[in-house]
Amino acid sequence: MDYRLDEIDRRIVYELMRDARDTSAPEIAEQVNVSPGTIRNRINQLEDHGIIKGYAASVDFERADGRLTNLYMCNAPISERESLAREVSAIPGVINVRELMTGRRNLHVLAVGEDTEDLRRISRALSRLGIDIEDEDLVQTETTSPYDAFGPDEDRPAAGATDFISLAGDASVVDVTVQSDAPIVDRTLADAVQSGILEESSLVIAIERDDRTLTPHGETVIRPDDIVTILCRGGDPEQVVSGFVADGTRPEL
């Protein structure tokens, strides 16, 4: 993997899984305390890295002219499974093909037909590809839910979306979202070091601001909702990020 999800990314994925149609960037931004521009930028990154592959409507085909949805549980040669899955997806009526890492029933095919004869047509098309249909059944209902592990954590303060990576040599990398009333807001990094808000042993290596990623220097001014990446060399990471959050709301790392 060349892209590591942080707390903001996980919340974006959760909210889009929950309801991609009615969830807007400003709504997600309000929940994770960053700007809408940051959310839009993160969504673009998740799409570019193939993590978010698309947005699909959930359709009740029985209500759509009484069509039938059928699940075929098939056996495909492991060496041909991937190529066969592509061929199966081209069969008219097939709406989903899932490859499983098993020896049997390693190809699940979801298809929609106008009637039972239409579903038999799909069965014959699968057989002509050399695929063995081990079992099949009509789908009555299907329910999807967002992945809970990416959802809001009631035990974590909403104002400190933080990511933490331990490195060798007693070092760590911390991402913290700057709160509007944090001590470092509207100060330069140089001033923050001189005033003791930021430890000299810590280094701000990146700042994500709306749809831009800034390369920080001493005269860079920290703004509310900035997502700041800090390299901590020794010391207490919680103490390092305390200047970026409001008093009494230090995020747990």
CATH number of residue 226's parent domain: 3.30.70.1450
In a domain, 121, yes or no: yes
User: Does residue 29 sit within a domain?
Assistant: yes
Per-residue model confidence as pLDDT tens digits over 13-54: 999 999 998 899 999 998 888 889 999 999 999 999 999 999
**pLDDT, greater one: 135 or 32:** 135
b/e burial code for range 27-40 (CB count within 10 A of at least 16 → b): ebbebbbbbbbbbb
For residue 82, pLDDT over 90 is answered with: yes
Q: What is the pLDDT of residue 166?
A: 76
**Least-confidence region, from 121-130, 166-175, 202-211:** 166-175
Report pLDDT for 165. 81
pLDDT at 250 > cutoff 60: no
35 shares a domain with 75 = no
The count of domains in the chain is 3
Whether residue 73 sits in one domain with residue 50: no
- Report the predicted TM-score, pTM, of the whole model to 2 decimal places: 0.78
* Strand extents, DSSP E, 65-190: 68-75, 94-99, 107-113, 132-138, 162-167, 171-177
**Residue 195 clears pLDDT 60, i.e. is over it:** yes
- Which range marks the domain in which residue 111 is found? 68-138
Q: Residue 101 is part of a domain; what is its CATH number? A: 3.30.70.920
Q: Is 137 exposed, middle or buried (0-12, 13-18, 19+ CB in 10 A)?
A: exposed
How far is 10 from 19, CA to CA, in rounded Å? 14
3-state secondary structure of 173: strand
Clarify whether residues 189 and 236 are in a common domain.
yes
**What is the residue whose two structure tokens read 């919340």?**
11
pLDDT at 159: 47
CB 208 within 8 A of CB 38: yes
